[in-house]
Chains A and B, each alone.
Chain A
Amino acid sequence: ELKVEQNPLFLSMQEGKNYTIYCNYSTTSDRLYWYRQDPGKSLESLFVLLSNGAVKQEGRLMASLDTKARLSTLHITAAVHDLSATYFCAVNQGGSEKLVFGKGTKLTVNP
């Protein structure tokens, strides 16, 4: 059974600082996704990582995938308040479109 673990679950940062969110998963998969959710809103796709070594960057966020270590990271550079949200990683299960989600990391960026 595929399990996806994120850490930390809660993260409070100061503006301008850097930090990394980690996503570990338990069984082999070569597809991993990062989503953002604002309070009371739906999930917005951030990154699609489809192979070992994949790296994607958008603004202050950068995601990477190491399929051998079963690990993805979401790196935040010089955080700003607008990045405050909950971030989910999700892993593809068994080559289907079924995604298993982590519990999410609630990020708060303080002035």
Chain B
Amino acid sequence: NAGVTQTPKFQVLKTGQSMTLQCAQDMNHEYMSWYRQDPGMGLRLIHYSVGAGITDQGEVPNGYNVSRSTTEDFPLRLLSAAPSQTSVYFCAVGGGVRNTGELFFGEGSRLTVL
């Protein structure tokens, strides 16, 4: 039982390149989300999904794209990387039978854009 798995853990990109951060869960939770963490800013919500086929924007969605074709996977795409997207990205899942609203986080993906 891996929980929430993010790949890659580290990535360096050049400005203008595109890439996809992967998030996979085996917790059978409906809700999945992406946050970015920057020093002194806490965590800010990028995009979220309440189930397969349903996505919506969070607080800071510009420059990112998501899709949710299965319950298990929620990839985050950077369309044209910019230095301002240098950050640590966390995938978080929640919901489930108990549905306390608690989120469970992946280990994070550290992205540097040069």
Chain A interfacial positions (CB closer than 8 Å to B): 4, 9, 31, 33, 41-43, 45, 48, 50, 88, 90, 92, 96-104
Contact = CB atoms under 8 A, between A and B. Distances in A.
A33 B105 contact: no
A100 B95 CA distance: 16
Contact of B31 (A41, A97, A104): A97
Contact of B108 (A42, A88, A100): A42
Contact of B94 (A43, A50, A97): A97
25 contacts: A4-B42, A31-B100, A33-B101, A41-B107, A42-B90, A42-B105, A42-B106, A45-B104, A48-B100, A48-B101, A48-B102, A90-B43, A92-B101, A97-B33, A97-B48, A97-B50, A97-B101, A98-B58, A99-B45, A100-B45, A101-B43, A102-B42, A103-B40, A103-B41, A104-B42
Contacts of A104: 42
Residue of A97, A99, A100 most packed against chain B (CB within 10 A) = A97
B78 interface: no
Contacts of B95: 97
Contacts of A100: 45
B103 interface: yes
